Amino acid sequence: MEDDDLQLSASTLSALQEFMQEKDAREKRFEELKAQAEEEKRERDKLSTTVVTMEDFEADWQVSQFWYDDETSQALAEELVAGAGEDTNVVLVSAPR
């Protein structure tokens, strides 16, 4: 018997084809996600070219600042998290203790 005479059974060939289709679909999905991540990085990089300094912000000297005890800080943090969505960015500029 020569190598040319060897054949897979129909069920084995079908299983192999299904496996290869799933593999191709996973590779395609990976490439799509990679392209999306690269595009999002390019967009973030565009935004990050702007230099922001303290001179860009004007202080309102009529506004008082309050430093909170641990209990109040925890309550405020919980409210912040409860109101935050998936796309919410939270930045703490100053939080002395």
pLDDT digits (tens, 9 = 90+) for 38-59: 888 888 777 776 666 666 666 6
Question: Phi and psi of 46, rounded to 5°?
Answer: -60, -45
State residue 49's pLDDT score: 63
SS3 of 42, please? helix
Q: Write down the pLDDT at residue 76.
A: 82
Are 76 and 68 a contacting pair, CB within 8 Å?
Answer: yes
Tokens of residue 64, six digits? 């008082």
Q: Which helix (H) or strand (E) holds 65?
A: none
Question: What is the pTM for the complete model shown?
Answer: 0.40
Least confident of 33-42, 54-63, 73-82, 87-96: 54-63
Write down the pLDDT at residue 62.
63
Question: What pLDDT is attached to residue 93?
Answer: 63
Rounded CA separation 74/77 (Å): 5
pLDDT category of residue 73 using cuts at 50, 70 and 90: confident
